[in-house]
Structure formats: structure tokens, C-alpha cells
Amino acid sequence: MAIVGDTEPTGAPAADQAVVALEQADNPSSPVVRFGPDRPLLLDSGKRLNHLQIAYQTYGTLNEARSNAILLCHALTGDQHACNRHPVTGKPGWWTEMVGPGKAIDTDRYFIICTNVLGGCMGTTGPATTDPETGEPYGLGLPVITVGDMVRAQAMLLDQLGIETLFCVAGGSMGGMQVLQWAATYPERVFSALPIAAGARHSSQNIAFHEVGRQAVMADPEWRGGRYLLDDTSPRKGLAVARMAAHVTYLSEQALHRKFGRNLQDRDKPTFGFDADFQIESYLRHQGMTFVERFDANSYLYLTRAMDYFDLAEDYGGRLANAFRGSKTRFCVVSFTSDWLFPTVENKAVVRALNAAGASVSFVEIDTDRGHDAFLLNEPEMFDTIRGFLSSAAYARGIA
């Protein structure tokens, strides 16, 4: 399928953006910590990573007691650029609504760290990174990674930064999975945890959508069995289709209808062809086109796989409550009424398990029609909840 038409110019021309993006994989504009074979990362697959680099951004100031650090965990297509201008797209960071001076996650009070996840493509080791042992990009030579691996890599970075305990770990969607994994793996290092629009496992339906996306990437002849970087090609069309399909799952029927309805794009009657007649088509094509400039196709395969494999209960004898037994962490779980990717019922399963484990947990379901992506948007009720939760936790932790 050809993806044609209707892109808006944003920052650098598209071809330049792709070059900049590729450069970021090895030499990111963010600070980087590198680990060598003396500190290998043991992966859940049983393999090991002898070379690991982690790119991260920080905002705000670490206090003297080193007690005010918050780790932000990004979602599938996010990165470490949570609230600074993006080096590839030139756009504001993905969580500027939530994070900043005086915002719900207040950079005047807290020290914020956001890392690019393991398997990502913005400077942390991923399939687009050059393997120091071969001098070529890892490609599919990179072992399959898990959410657990992502979290252990983040812990290595925090060790390096000298941060023993996190005041909070926060994130939405795949970021929320990392939050839950953090709370389960390192309960003593997590004072409070804020999983938003997430679940303790990836549902069958979600795996299905991911598989559609992966098949779209792998069906693109330019994917070249994952060796497209060596062949100097790119499976842009496949990745764009994957993004288009996935993007629908981040919205809701009501929001789509409100925003686009059956409106036609720059025309007053259908063309009786396969051009983007409808605004929604044009919008999705734009989403697909812009995404491929900044995101590595293999990275998309690895990260969707990591989410698919996520099942926290499975790691604890089939009982999710066991993952949180004895936890002193304060939890605040947030879901959205119109989220059908991680619906309230999945979030509540986490709440139920935390209750059964006797953990301290708060839960709110935010009433909105904006679907899964609501966690990235201006949702005042969500901000109020999170601000209140963090303030009371800060008081309990003695943060001014």
C-alpha cells in the first residue's frame, strides 16, 4: 500500500529528519552512560548484553538528601525527551502537559530522570545501535528484550548516578508496565509508584494489534529481513501502516467521531477513488509519515514484543498479589473511561492485587472520551489527582 499525500511540513525536511534520527541511535544529543563487558546486562531470554549504553534526560535539581528523584518511563513510541524540544522533530516533549515548573510533576520540587528504554532508538542500546563487536548495527542480532530487562538497565543507570531510592516511578501505557515492574523487582527502591493507563499483562487483543503492526513492517520488501540499515533502505511504508493501525487503538470512537466525523478532506464530494477522501484517512496517513522519520522499524518490533511478553503475575506463580507482597510503596493507579487498549478493568486488576497484598493504593478512573492517549493530554482531573498524590507522598518523605 502506498502512503500518499497530505503531510504538514514540521522542522527539518523529512529526509534530513531520518538522517538525524539515525545519528541519535549511536550518538544521542542526550547524556549517555556506557557499560562494558565488565558489567554485562543479563537478559530474561538467558542471553547477555556485553555492551550497554543508556541515554537519558534530567529536569530540575537533585536535593542534598537525594530523596526527590522521579523516574519517568516512556511509552512504546516515546523517548527520553519528555519535556525538552525533540532533537529530530523539533517539537515539544511528549509529557509537557504533566511535567514542568509548577506542573503536576513539578520540576521545581522534584528531580526528573527520563531514560530512553532498552530496545529504543534514541541513544539507548537497541537494534539500530552499532554493535561494538561487529561495527555494524545489531539489527535482529540484538537479543529479544523484556520489560524486566528495561527496568534492570534503568537501575544500572541510577546506580551510576548515585540514586539509591526513587521518590516516584511514573509512566503511562508501556511506561506503566515499567512502573509495575519497578515496584515488583525493586520494592525497597521505590517510595511511590504511578502507573497510568496500564495493566499487569498485555491482553490477547493487544498482542493481536501488535502482530498486525509487526507483519506490516516485515511485509515491506525494504525491511530486508531486518538488515535495511546495512542495505541503506528503510521499510517506511510498512512502519507507517503499523503506526496507522496502532494509532487508532490509542483513540476512541467518540473522539474520532468528534474530531473527524465523516468529513471530507479539502473537497466537497467523494472522488470515487482511493485517495484520502476522508479527513480521518488524511490524519492517519500524516501520523504514519511523520512517525517513520523519527522511529526505527526494528525498534518497533522489539518494543512491541517486550510489551507482548509482559505478564507480571506469571513471574510470581500466577498470582499478581505475590508481586507486591510486603510492599511499602505507595501506589496511585489511574485509568480512563474511554481507554479500550488498557481499559479500567485491567487497571483495577492491579488495584485488586495491591489490595490483596495489603499495599497502600489509591485509584481513580478519569472520565474522558479521549481514549488511551488521554494520559498525554490536558486532563485537569488527572493532574489534580497526581499533584495531590505526589504532594502527600513528598510530605511523608520529608521533601520540602
Partner 1 sequence: MNAPQRSVDNATRVDHLVIAELVEPGVRVLDVGCGDGGLLSLLETTRGVDGRGIEISQKGVNESVARGLSVIQGNADTDLVDYPDNAFDYVILSQTLQATHRPRDVIEQMLRIGDKAIVSFPNFGHWRMRGMLMLNGRMPVTRNLPQAWYETQNIHFCTIRDFIDLCDEMGAHIERGVALNGSGQRIALNAPWWFWNLFGQQAVFLLSH
Distance CA 210, CA 180 (A): 21
Residue 358 touching partner 1 (CB under 8 A) = yes
Among residues 364, 369, 397, 399, which is the contact residue for partner 1, using CB under 8 A?
Answer: 364
Task: Name the residue among 305, 323, 71 with its Cα closest to residue 180.
Answer: 323
Nearer to partner 1, 227 or 325 (CB): 325
Catalytic residue among 29, 30, 67, 173: 173
**Considering only 102-110, 165-173, 266-274, 362-370, which stretch makes contact with partner 1 by CB under 8 A?**
362-370
DSSP letter for each residue of 187-205: GGGBSEEEEES--SB--HH
Instruction: Assess contact for 385 and 364: CB atoms under 8 A.
Output: yes
Give yes or no for residue 305 binding partner 1 (CB under 8 A).
no
Stretch that binds partner 1, among 220-228, 233-241, 293-301, 390-398 (CB under 8 A): 390-398
106 among known catalytic residues: no
Rounded distance between C-alpha atoms, residue 180 and residue 148, angstroms: 10
Work out which of 39, 91, 387, 397 binds partner 1, going by CB under 8 A: 387
Is 372 an active-site residue? yes
355 binds partner 1 (CB under 8 A): yes
Pick from 174, 351, 374, 376 the residue near partner 1 by CB under 8 A: 351
As a whole number of angstroms, the distance between CA 104 and CA 82 comes to 14
Largest CA distance in the chain: 67
The answer to whether residue 84 forms part of the interface with partner 1 (CB under 8 A) is no
Considering only residues 112, 332, 341, 374, which one is a binding residue for partner 1 as defined by CB under 8 A? Answer: 332
Stretch that binds partner 1, among 28-36, 249-257, 290-298, 348-356 (CB under 8 A): 348-356
By CB under 8 A, tell whether 110 contacts partner 1: no
CA separation (Å) from 60 to 87, 108, 117, 142, 382? Answer: 20, 6, 21, 34, 22
Tell me if residue 339 is catalytic: yes
Separation of alpha carbons 334 and 317, rounded Å? 26
CA distances from 309 to 27, 201, 258 (A): 29, 8, 34
The DSSP string of 219-274 is HSGGGGGGTTTTTT---HHHHHHHHHHHHHHHS-HHHHHHHTTT-BSS-SS--SSS
SS3 80: coil
Minimum separation from the CB atom of position 170 to partner 1 (A): 15
328 binds partner 1 (CB under 8 A): no
Residue choice 4, 42, 345, 396 for contact with partner 1 (CB under 8 A)? 396
Contact stretch for partner 1 (CB under 8 A) within 113-121, 123-131, 210-218, 360-368 = 360-368
Let me know: does 329 contact 360? Beta carbons within 8 Å: yes
Residue 389 host element (H or E): helix 380-397
Is-contact 239 300, C-beta < 8 A?
A: yes
Q: Does 274 bind partner 1 (CB under 8 A)?
A: no
Say how far apart CA 75 and CA 58 lie, in whole Å.
17
Among 44, 352, 397, 399, binds partner 1 (CB under 8 A): 352
Q: How far is the CB of 391 from partner 1 (least distance, A)?
A: 7
**Annotated binding-site ranges for substrate:** 243, 373
Task: Identify whether the C-beta of residue 340 lies closer than 8 Å to the C-beta of residue 157.
Answer: no
Nearer to partner 1, 91 or 348 (CB): 348
- 362 lies in the binding site for partner 1 (CB under 8 A): yes
378 part of the interface to partner 1, by CB under 8 A: no
Instruction: Tell me how many residues contact partner 1 (CB under 8 A).
Output: 27
- What CA–CA distance (Å, rounded) separates 26 from 385? 38
| 325 binding partner 1? (CB under 8 A) | no
By CB under 8 A, residue 337 contacts partner 1: no
Query: Which residues are identified as catalytic?
Result: 173, 339, 372
User: Which stretches of the chain bind partner 1, using CB under 8 A?
Assistant: 330, 332, 348, 351-352, 355-356, 358, 360-367, 381, 384-385, 387-389, 391-393, 395-396
